[in-house]
Amino acid sequence: MNREDFPMLKNDIIYFDNGATSLKPKTVIDKMVDYYENYSANAHRGDYDISYKVDMEYEKTRDLVAKFINAQDKEEIVFTSGTTESLNMIATGFFANIIEPNDEILITTSEHASNVLPWFRLENEYGCHVKYIPLDSNYHVTLDNVKKAVTPQTKIISLAHITNVIGDIRPIKEICKFAHEHDIFVVVDGAQSLPHIKVDVQDLDCDFTAFSAHKMYGPTGLGVLYGKKELLDNLEPINLGGGMNESFDSPMEIILKDVPTRLEAGTPNIASVIAFSESINYLNKIGMDKINERELHLRNYLVEKLVKIPHIDIINLEADSGIVTFNVNDIFAQDVAYYLNKYNICVRAGNHCAKILKNNTNVNNTIRVSLAFYNTESEIDMLIELLKDKDKIMKEMI
Amino acid sequence: MDDEVKREIILEHYQNPLHRHKPEKDGYEKVNTANQSCIDNLDIYVDIQDKIIKDITFTGEACAISISSTSIMIQNLIGKTVKEALEYIDNFDKMINEKEYNADLLKDANVYDNIYKQNSRKSCAFLPYRGIREILAKYLEE
């Protein structure tokens, strides 16, 4: 649905790599071009009209994002370069200051690298310990398993809302409730959930959430760090510089601005922030429920056909998102991706940055199809036709 | 060599690669060779005695081009002196990078003579050579 809104879809491709990045509607692209062509000035310099307009547009996006995720206050929205930077800021700017030796951080083996490595760094530098919540037989996280993994030392639970390989939706609301009863912070990696399901941070009651604009049909190089106001106030800026300070005279006399400005040092990614407003407008216009419904329909359509192909193993039969991960027996995932590329089908092969998940699945590399609402049944039919014939794959993959 | 023959040789070496196992005795040099831009990742083991390559084995996961190229490399390098092997590798390197080379020297490795047309797969074909070249260079110096 809504294919006509996406200029990229006019090219002769079938795009099944939406988990990596999504395509952009024309309104987003136009908004960015409009900034560059008509009011290309810096932010925080409101002495002339076009710069004033930049500030207005920039803050308008912040407002839209706050409403989109139902944050209590727009000051809880910090613009970053992406989910990765947001998660690093949370780990290094906030938790590094309060973590103590032997504190425990709970993650899972199916997390993306950006929700693993910042915590590994805390372990290496502060003597705390990264522990794993066991996954169930479908590689999902259950509240029961969270409860089993929590100890008196647990300080942080950091989980993807939806994982990028398994595609399961974690019970974040229930986990937050349990965690907060035990004085544990909850960090949510929302990179794969914000584009596909309704996320209400007050309803979830998570302490921090990180996500990326480019996976939400928005521009690259932009992400969001959401944090509860009282926590963000204590998040130490990693970058110091222009725009974020009130005054300074000497190393002893530095006064910083309030959040979120304090956490956005230097010239921000103005064009992307401004254009991101159109992504939010676009998602609101279609409605997240409708997007989710359409993507689940496509997933079921794909899985029903894939299971009938005997030489295909689906890794995540059970999942509530548009992510389908599989292998063709005896053929290396990347060779399948090369083969599909010959037919202009874009899929991803590899470990998808979840490098410790192999400890659970015993599979190193997989092919991942990640769907978006603009994909179609006929695109899936084409994929299935190409995967049905193993000899053809073997013949054409090289 | 026509494309169909090339494809058959590549597939044969992919499906039944030579020496895809850990060495059965001690004394092998090991090198890991991986492509940063993709997921090919191989360990190559070489047994060198008196500057002659006695044996090569490998383990790991990689695409059809990397695996077949490793198998063909093993077939062609065992029995060569370190110096001969390095010449062979230089020659292969030249072929991959569209420079003048001696096709007779490369035998079955000529199946990759068109790989330069697929930029993303050049590094797959060269993967095992990158690894083994490191080891051989050390032996040449000694």
Which chain A residues touch B64 with a CB distance below 8 Å?
332, 335, 397-398
Q: How many domains does chain B have?
A: 1
CB nearest to A349's CB, from B7, B39, B65? B39
A152 falls in which pLDDT band (50, 70, 90)?
very high
Q: What is the mean pLDDT of residues A309-338?
A: 92
Domains and CATH numbers, chain A: 26-285 (3.40.640.10), 287-396 (3.90.1150.10)
Is residue A128 annotated as part of the catalytic site, yes or no? Answer: no
Write out pLDDT tens, residues A244-300. 998 999 999 999 999 999 999 999 999 999 999 999 999 999 999 999 999 999 999
**Taking CB atoms and an 8 Å limit, are A398 and B10 in contact across chains?**
yes
pLDDT of residue A357: 75
Residue B142 has a pLDDT of: 64
ipTM of model: 0.81
CA B11 – CA B71 distance, rounded (Å): 11
d(CA A264, CA A274): 15
Residues of chain B with pLDDT under 50: none
> Three-class SS string for A85-137?
HHHHHHHHHHHHHHCCCCCEEEECCCCCHHHCHHHHHHHHHHCCEEEECCCCC
- Please give the residue range of the domain that contains residue B74: 3-141
List pLDDT tens digits, range A293-311: 999 999 999 999 999 999 9
User: Which of A212-216, A350-354, B98-102 has the least mean pLDDT?
Assistant: A350-354
Q: Which of B63, B57, B64, B72 is nearest to B109 (CA)?
A: B72
Q: Does B10 touch chain A (CB under 8 A)?
A: yes
Question: By the CB < 8 Å criterion, does A338 face chain B?
Answer: yes
For residues A333 and B39, the answer to whether their CB atoms sit within 8 Å is: yes
Separation CA A237–CA A93 (nearest Å): 6
Instruction: Check if A351 contacts B (Cβ < 8 Å).
Output: yes
Q: Which CATH number belongs to the domain containing residue B17 in this structure?
A: 3.90.1010.10
Mean pLDDT value across residues A310-339: 92
CA distance A260 to A291: 30
The secondary structure element, H or E, covering residue A286 is helix A270-286
Higher pLDDT, A112 or B140: A112
Greatest distance between any 2 Cα atoms in chain A: 72
Q: Which residues contact A117 (CB under 8 A, 6 or more apart)?
A: none
Alpha carbons A4 and A10: distance in angstroms, whole number: 8
